Amino acid sequence: EGEKLEVTKKVEVTIPVPSGVFSEDNLFVKHIHNGNTYYYDAELSGDKVTFTNPNGFSLITVFNDNRSGSIKFKDSDGNRIDTKKYNISNIGDKLPDYDEKGYTFKGWVIDGEVYDTFTEELLKLINGDTFTATPKLIKDSSKPSHSYSLEEGRVDRDDEDKEEPVV
């Protein structure tokens, strides 16, 4: 019947595979565990596939996937910060953080959509190409401060456009 094995450390797994089924390049393992999908890099040596599994055991699929692409991250002024290359093993990875004083970062705008995590959808989009990402920023809200100046014949508020007084 077997014994339940609780995996709490990374485990290197080697699986015998039929000869000629997989190529050495772009070899990955798809692992579905507790409702999450993980992708690991794998190596082919002879008729064996080896990979490291840090997430416990359950359904595992070995496959080749040549899809890859790059994302060019730019700051809010359009200056390049970094360009990163992604493939299927990056699915689920958080995209880089971004910080700008006075704003809250909400993710990266890539081809009109906002992403904070690398997804299967994003891999399909960038496959074979380089896409530009710009930060989605929301201005931090602060309590409005108002000051008033009372002079004869007019009232000025610093939170409105000022107009000349009517005489």
Could you report the per-residue pLDDT of 132-155, keeping only the tens digit for each?
999 999 998 865 554 454 555 544
Residue 54 confidence (pLDDT): 87
Burial classification of residue 70, based on how many CB atoms lie within 10 Å of its CB (0-12 exposed, 13-18 middle, 19 or more buried): middle
Report pLDDT for 165.
Answer: 47
Confidence check: pLDDT of 158 > 50: no
Distance CA 142, CA 164 (A): 29
pLDDT at 147: 46
Give the confidence band of 161 by pLDDT, cuts at 50, 70, 90.
very low
Task: Please provide the distance, in angstroms rounded to a whole number, between the alpha carbons at the two ends of the chain.
Answer: 97
Mean pLDDT value across residues 126-133: 97
pLDDT tens profile 82-104: 999 999 999 999 999 999 999 99
The sign of the torsion formed by the CA atoms of 38, 39, 45, 48 equals positive
Q: What is the pLDDT of residue 132?
A: 97
- Cβ contacts of residue 59 below 8 Å, gap of 6+? 31, 32, 33
In this structure, how many other beta carbons lie within 10 angstroms of the beta carbon of residue 40?
19
The predicted model gives 13-17 an average pLDDT of 91
User: What is the average pLDDT across 11-28?
Assistant: 91
pLDDT in tens, 21-54: 999 999 999 988 888 888 999 999 999 999 998 8
Q: What is the pLDDT of residues 50-72, one digit of tens each?
A: 999 888 777 778 889 999 999 99
Residue 108 confidence (pLDDT) above 60:
yes
The pLDDT of residue 163 is 44
If we measure between CA atoms, which residue out of 127, 73, 114 comes closest to residue 96? 73
Question: For the ranges 8-12, 109-113, 149-153, which has the lowest average pLDDT?
Answer: 149-153
Kindly report the number of other CB atoms within 10 A of residue 42's CB atom: 22
For all residues of the chain together, what is the average pLDDT? 84
Quote the pLDDT of residue 166. Answer: 53
